[in-house]
Every structure is written in C-alpha cells, then in structure tokens.
C-alpha cells in the first residue's frame, strides 16, 4: 500500500512540473503598474534561471497581462497576450546557467531549451510610489505591501494548467 501511495505521489508531482503553465497579472488598484522584470526558476535545481525585463504597463482598475500558450508543457516565454494593448510579446530572455554565466536568447529558444523545467519565480513591479518583488522566496514575497498598493501571489492547478496568479489592489 505504501508503494502505491508513493508511486502516485511521485507521478502527481512530476505531472505538476510538466503541466501547462499560465502567468496572470491583474491590476485592480487605482494606480498604473509597470512590470519591469519577470523571472522563472528551475523546478528542482538552483540553475538555470530565466528572466526578462519587458517594461509592461498594466493599466489601473482592471488591467491585466497574461502569458499562456495553451498547447504546450513549457513555461510560456514566447506567448503573446493578444488582448493586451499593445499586444505584448517578450522577444528576448536572459538565461543564467551558473553563478557567473549569463546568456541572452530568443523567446522561442528559451521555451524549447528551458521551458519544460521552469516555473514562475517572481515579478518586480512598480506602482509609481514604490516597487517590490512579488512571487516566491527568496527573491520575492507575498504579500508585497507598498505605500499605495499591495500585491498578492498564489498558484492554482486548474485541469492540467498551473496558473501563476498575481493580483495588485489598493491599500
């Protein structure tokens, strides 16, 4: 019975690592928010970390940003949000493969080479009066309380899709 339980647990955990991934950022605050950094991390190892500095403006009172491919098990490095104004595509990502090794590559190459083993780590956002890293520790925290806004991070598994959800609201 124990063998069955542990086998089921291992399968569940490994499917979670390779499930479809979706990054959702919602801004319900009264302030425009700028996302200046998105970073992922490896599911189990210290490296590689993949990041981008896109400068994405998410408008106040219901603006949103989404990265989602819908048909792959990779982190959506090359997934534009067709509903965003303007539609965002993050063309270049940086990959840190060791403490002193950093290379840049296209979103497609990042998705093919690193996407399956990457999970969301944190974003750096700015609300005009302050900035913070919202996500998982050690680089990010949740909640992030700034002067005007508070950001919350959570992760949901809906069907076969892992949804990394960040919500920013007024204080």
Tokens 């940086």 sit at which residue? Answer: 94
pLDDT value of residue 158: 85
> In sequence order, what E strands does the chain have?
20-27, 33-42, 49-52, 56-58, 63-68, 92-98, 101-106, 118-126, 131-135, 144-145, 149-158, 161-170
Give the number of domains in the chain.
1
pTM more than 0.85: no
**Residue 95: closest CA among 87, 104, 108:** 104
27-36, 72-81, 150-159: range with lowest mean pLDDT: 72-81
Which DSSP string do the residues of 78-91 spell out, in sequence order?
T--BTTSSSPB---
**Residue with more model confidence, 162 or 30:** 30
**pLDDT, mean of residues 113-136:** 94
Prior bond to 36 cis, omega within 30? no
Do 102 and 95 form a contact (C-beta atoms < 8 A)?
A: yes
pLDDT tens profile 74-116: 788 866 655 555 556 788 899 999 999 999 998 888 888 898 8
**Residue 61: closest CA among 153, 169, 133:** 169
Q: How far apart are the first and last CA of the chain?
A: 50
In 3-state terms, what secondary structure has residue 149?
A: strand
The residue range of the domain holding 12 is 2-170
pLDDT value of residue 80: 62
pLDDT value of residue 13: 41
pLDDT at 25 over 80: yes
d(CA 168, CA 128) in angstroms, rounded, equals 13
pLDDT tens profile 41-77: 999 999 999 999 988 899 999 999 888 776 567 788 8
């Amino acid at each position: 019975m124990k063998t069955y339980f542990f086998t089921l647990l291992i399968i569940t955990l490994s499917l979670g690592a390779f499930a479809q991934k979706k990054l959702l950022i919602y801004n319900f605050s009264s302030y425009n928010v700028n996302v200046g950094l998105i970073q992922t991390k490896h599911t189990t190892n210290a490296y590689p970390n993949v990041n981008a500095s896109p400068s994405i403006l998410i408008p106040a009172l219901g603006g949103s940003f989404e990265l989602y491919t819908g048909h792959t098990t990779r982190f959506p490095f090359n997934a534009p949000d067709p509903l965003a104004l303007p539609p965002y595509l993050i063309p270049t990502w940086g990959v840190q493969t060791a403490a002193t090794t950093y290379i840049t590559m296209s979103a497609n190459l990042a998705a093919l080479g690193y996407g399956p083993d990457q999970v969301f780590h944190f974003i750096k956002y700015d609300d005009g009066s302050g900035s913070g890293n919202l996500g998982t520790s050690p680089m990010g925290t949740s909640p992030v309380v700034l002067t005007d806004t508070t950001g919350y991070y959570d992760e949901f598994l809906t069907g076969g899709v892992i949804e990394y959800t960040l919500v920013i609201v007024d204080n």
